Amino acid sequence: MKLLVNFSRKAGQKPIIAQVVKETGVLINVERAIIDSSEGEALIDIPDESCRIVKEKMASLGATVRVLEHGIILDETECIDCGACVSVCPHEVFYFDENWEVCVREGRCVLCGRCMDACPHQALYHKDEL
Amino acid sequence: MKKSIDLINERVRDGNARVVTADEMPGIVAELGDEEALREVDVVTTGTFGAMCSSGAFFNFGHAEPPIRMERIWLNDVEAYGGLAAVDTYIGATQQSTTREDQYGGAHVIEDFVAGKSVELRAMSRGTDCYPRRTITTDLLLEHLNQAIMCNPRNAYQRYNAAINTTDRVLHTYMGMLLPNSGNITFSGAGVLNPLSNDPKLRMIGSGVPIFLGGAQGMVVGEGTQNSPAGGFGTLMVTGNMKEMSQDYVRAATMRGYGVTLYIGVGIPIPVVDIDVVRSTAVRDEDISVDLLDYGVPSRNRPAVRKVNYAELRSGVVEVNGEEIRTSSLSSYRKAKDVAETLKGWVEQGKMTLVLPTRQINPETRVKSMHESVHGPRVLDIMDKRVVSIGESEEIRAAAQKLLKGETNHLPVINSNGLLVGIVTTYDISKAVANPGKATLVRDIMRKKVVTTTPDEPVDIAVQKLERHNISAMPVVDKDMHVVAMLTAIDLGKLIGGRWLK
């Protein structure tokens, strides 16, 4: 399960993720992070069963946490099944089925947005702004 | 054995023709042999669906009251050609909107018209006795136009070179997004389904041949621009009635960092009249090779990394120097198949009969590069040959003195053999002086990764380097890394007014 963690101005200076890992023992995989001196956002991947405890611990340390519901979404009316997205995706989200239609493994997506840049038909978008 | 076009058309009209798509043909020929395949198959349909930038359409709007001779014309803020008479125009697919830049262009105007959407026409004129009106603004649907004739100067490329990028930054090209350090490969083309790949000698494809174009029944006009069938890169000029087209096969697109283009479906039915047609339509993806070019080299002559065929490209991974690199297609194989299948249906149902070319396209044609009578400026035309350099084992103080005396901000650093090994700037020296540490020699503070240019490099390429690295000067080196000059931002001033021409 993927969680979107936002660090506030103050909390940004504390090693929140490290502290959560230490205290909960849950192995957190940081898939994307933009952190500067005052604030930051991180996309983390954790086992589903650890969701509650990680969320609570993060919140208690001052971070806001929400579950990432959607990965990248493919607009089938715009997509022409070229496959420009296939090779640029670092997580192999896109693949062709036997009819040469582009398919999406949404769960793998970390919303890096690279495919949105590569799509000639503006057929890819996401709901959760990172 | 031969089969006449009349016999084939008789079968088409009777609904008895055996029509297959080009991807089925290799299997049929392998199973039946050439002779039997010739007896069995009457028509092979081909198809391709991809970015075809050199496309556009002629429009005639009908006369306004009072009438206007339009001189400058915009459709949804995309400028169309105003050099035709009165209310004719041509809109090119890659022309970009004056207000929305690369998010909207000529291709979008064409798609919007085909989709039944309203398009705003604005035009200006200086007014004449016969055409007194000076401006016009009106919303138009495709049905309001007298003619909307798509006429694409260069479509249906026989094949297209694949692209890779060996530089360390992302490139945005007409071949799509190319990841750094050979991170991916992009390619375009329908391979086994491509029309010209199924008739490379241009025996059945030529002027007057009926085709599928954007969902309508169109026609081959003749050879396309940049046609180069002798080298395996044939192109076609094609035309068709936009009013009969479908948005399923006419799609505008934006290649980020490149601009607007039009994706369009083109398919050609090939009559199987003799053994040679059987053999040429039995072509497989494996048989069609292209060069994998390094788009990191900003030149017309990009180096080929290797040869690669369409079977490899379509497999999803291509091996380059022992590494598996993932591929992306920019054209749609599913849509190409759709075009070939639709065309097959038309011929089977007798909606399209076959025609031999009324004028043959010369298969020996080869494309030429531009004849340039005046070469653009090169670095040697504007570079500053007064080079002030410093040895790597000299003291920082010596460097500071040289910078002052030489009235420069950049000092190339050379080793004992006189070769370039680094560069120091006034900034580096100031930093060393402000934070005195262990560093005493030039080699301790120099930057070792030096961006360089060469005397014969075009200035446009050198300027790209300066901009990309956010620097204001770089050493000009010969092939052995001797510094022969400096190119600074100040030298670029010589370009103004053609002073570099002397």
What CATH number is given to the structural domain containing A95?
A: 3.30.70.20
Locate the chain B residue with the closest alpha carbon to A77.
B248
Shared-domain flag, residues A12 and A32: yes
pLDDT in tens, chain A (130 residues): 888 888 876 655 678 888 888 888 888 888 888 877 677 888 888 888 888 888 888 888 888 888 887 889 999 999 999 999 999 999 999 999 999 999 999 888 888 889 999 999 999 998 755 4
Last-in-domain residue among A32, A67, A102: A67
Residue type at position B44: V
Give the pLDDT of residue B475: 95
Overall domain count for chain A: 2
> pLDDT band at residue B498, thresholds of 50, 70 and 90?
low
pLDDT tens for B190-233 read 999 999 999 999 999 999 999 999 999 999 999 999 999 999 99
Share of chain B above pLDDT 70, in %: 99
Q: State yes or no: pLDDT of B111 exceeds 50.
A: yes
pLDDT tens for B331-360 read 999 999 999 999 999 999 999 999 999 999
Shared-domain flag, residues A30 and A87: no
Question: Which tokens belong to A10?
Answer: 């103050």
Give the pLDDT of residue B496: 80
Where exactly are the structural domains of chain B?
A: 5-52+151-348, 65-140, 379-501
Residue A42, min C-alpha distance to chain B (Å): 24
Shared-domain flag, residues A34 and A75: no
ipTM for this prediction:
0.82
Cβ of B214 under 8 Å from any chain A Cβ?
Answer: no
Give the pLDDT of residue B64: 95
Shared-domain flag, residues A81 and A114: yes
Q: State yes or no: pLDDT of B61 exceeds 90.
A: yes
Task: Given the residues B1, B85, B130, B434, select the one marked as catalytic.
Answer: B130
Question: Which among B460, B481, B346 has a CA at the least distance from the CA of B13?
Answer: B346
* Domain B379-501 CATH class label: alpha beta
Q: Which of B184, B325, B331 sits opposite A88 (nearest CB)?
A: B184
Q: Which of B184, B251, B337 sits opposite A121 (nearest CB)?
A: B251
Shared-domain flag, residues A101 and A56: no
Q: Name the B residues in 293-352 with CB < 8 Å from any A CB.
A: 316, 325-335, 337
Distance CA B18, CA B41 (A): 5
Residue type at position A35: I
Cβ of A77 under 8 Å from any chain B Cβ?
Answer: no
Shared-domain flag, residues A88 and A101: yes
DSSP state of B427: H
Catalytic residue check, B130 = yes
* Residue A12, domain extent: 2-67
DSSP state of A48: G
Shared-domain flag, residues A87 and A111: yes
Give the pLDDT of residue A130: 43
Shared-domain flag, residues A10 and A46: yes
Residue B366 main-chain phi, psi, to 5 deg? -135, 140
Shared-domain flag, residues A53 and A104: no
The three-state secondary structure class of B122 is: strand
Q: Name the B residues in 140-179 with CB < 8 Å from any A CB.
A: 172, 176-177, 179
**Is the Cβ pair A120, B186 closer than 8 Å?**
no
Residue A121, min C-alpha distance to chain B (Å): 5
Q: How many helices (H) and strands (E) does chain A have?
A: 3, 8
Residue type at position B281: T
Distance CA B175, CA B137 (A): 37
Shared-domain flag, residues A83 and A52: no
Share of chain B above pLDDT 90, in %: 83
Shared-domain flag, residues A106 and A129: yes
Mean pLDDT of chain B: 94
